[in-house]
Amino acid sequence: MTNKYETILLEIDQLVEAAVKETGLSDFGENDFLEPLERLVQALDAQARLNDFGRLRATMTIQSGLANRLRIQDHLLSNPSVYKEEIKSPIFIVGLPRTGTTALHHLLNQDPSNRTLRIWEAQDPIPPPRTETYHNDPRIAGQSEKISLTETFLPGFKTMHLIDAEEPDECYMLLNRSFMSVEYSALFHIPEYADWLYEQLVPRGCYDYHSLQLKILQSCHPGRWVLKAPFHQLGLAEIMRLYPDAIIVQTHRSIGEVVASGCSFSTLLRRSGSDEVDLYEIGRDWMGMLRAYTNRFEKTRAELEDKYPGQFVDLMYTDFVGDPLAGIRKIYAASGDPLETEVEKLMTNWLASNPQGKHGEHTYQLSDYGILIDEVKDLFDEYCIRYDLTID
């Protein structure tokens, strides 16, 4: 009988061998990453319609995840004290995609006491960065060189997303090493994997491994973590289990704009990796993701909010755009910390240097993706009533 993973496992074996050769290491720790990796590769092979660049990108991302997993395990074996690190009062920005979370993240990053996940350290976390060399670590230059090619391979990317090696980004990269990451479903049409991921991200313990990596990174460069990613809507219960003093910031925006903007961004990402990008498929994928995120988060928030009074902060997109610092003050008030005058000046300077639309306008419309406004209303009607939002 033919093993359904026969050709896939051969590819996985090659990726594993390449990571072992690259690092000189062979201990991956727990083998619970193997099933997610098999499912991911199977979906990429069967559904993603990869072109040569897409196959190269998927291969490089997976191999990087394997190599980093090896390095992380090696570091843990040599530095068991990492397990004793405590993560105190983190801030999680959990709004849906395209709701102003990136700008909010960058503003909070202006406070030197906050600890964000910079792209360079997220991509290359071992050895963990040290405070004394944090701003001149040689890994920064290497990541900057890669980012400089972004517009070559993804023209228009900077009109949609702020990116710089020394600036913060989403912490999905920490899940790449478990192969339970929404990065893959954003880059490629792999609904079979995505649907499985939305259900399995939490019960498979991915947040424990996510937390362990934060402990490694803060062990030599401490600070209050400020983390951002829409997928945290799936993991709210795990976040509050691991960090009962966490502040949860939920951003909100007119839902029609959220859906259309997200589809547009996904279109840009996928066109580099496939020559057969179907806008209607992207519409289905995004609606499926938003359904999973919203239903899970709203249910869990309703169950937990009374247990954690004052730890949930809501920011409306239009209010935030109109007066960003008012939103920042709400977050600091919830965390019990004052917003220092000098920090406020740093945030004001960042806003002046990064006006909305700095890199061009991002245009989109819902109809391009075969999504009817009635579908959006059906999915988000209760959500919009709860937060007094418009649909269109």
**1 pLDDT band (50/70/90 cuts)?**
very low
Q: What is the DSSP string of 75-125?
A: HHHH-GGGGG----S-EEE-PPTTSSHHHHHHHHTTSTTEE--BHHHHHS-
DSSP 350: H
Residue with token string 């897409």: 54
What is the distance between the alpha carbons of residues 234 and 392, in angstroms, rounded to a whole number? 25
CA distance 126 to 336: 33
The confidence score (pLDDT) of residue 159 equals: 62
Of residues 20, 247, 250, 294, the one with CA closest to residue 114: 247
pTM: 0.92
Could you read off the pLDDT of 142-199 as tens digits, one per residue?
Answer: 998 887 766 666 666 556 556 677 889 999 999 999 999 999 999 999 999 999 999 9
Q: What strand order describes the sheet that includes 224-228?
A: 114-115, 224-228, 91-93, 247-252, 312-316
**In this predicted structure, what is the pLDDT of residue 379?**
92
The DSSP secondary-structure symbol of 67 reads H
Strand residues in the chain grouped as ranges (E): 91-93, 114-115, 224-228, 247-252, 312-316
Task: Give 128's DSSP letter.
Answer: P
Instruction: Please tell me the class of the 6-387 domain.
Output: alpha beta
Structure confidence by residue, pLDDT tens digits, 79-128: 999 999 999 999 999 999 889 999 999 999 999 999 999 999 999 999 99
Exposure on the CB side of residue 18, measured as CA atoms within 13 A: 14
Q: Which residue carries 């502040």 as its tokens? A: 247
Confidence of residue 361 (pLDDT cuts 50, 70, 90): low
How far is residue 59's CA from residue 280's CA, in Å, rounded to a whole number?
A: 26
> In angstroms, what CA-CA distances link 145 with 119, 171, 191, 316, 329?
12, 21, 32, 36, 36
Q: How confident is the model at residue 363 (pLDDT cuts 50, 70, 90)?
A: low
**Whether 75 contacts 82, CB under 8 Å:** yes
Q: How far apart are CA 112 and CA 115, in angstroms?
A: 8
302-321 pLDDT, tens per residue?
Answer: 999 999 999 999 999 999 99
Please state the separation of Cα 20 from the chain's center in Å: 27
Contact 286, 182 (CB under 8 A): no
Distance CA 295, CA 145 (A): 40
Q: Is the preceding omega at residue 127 within 30 degrees of 0, hence cis? A: yes
Structural contact between residues 70 and 16, judged by C-beta atoms closer than 8 angstroms:
no
DSSP assigned state of 274: B
φ and ψ of 315, to 5 deg: -125, 125
For residues 130 and 306, give the distance between their C-alpha atoms in angstroms, rounded to a whole number.
39
Q: What is the residue type of 305?
A: E
Rounded CA-CA distance 117/228 in Å is 9
Task: Tell me the longest C-alpha to C-alpha distance in the chain.
Answer: 70
Mean pLDDT along residues 9-20 = 85
How confident is the model over 248-253, as a mean pLDDT?
A: 96
Please say whether the beta carbons of 245 and 306 come within 8 A: no
The answer to whether the Cα torsion of 60, 61, 63, 69 is positive or negative is positive
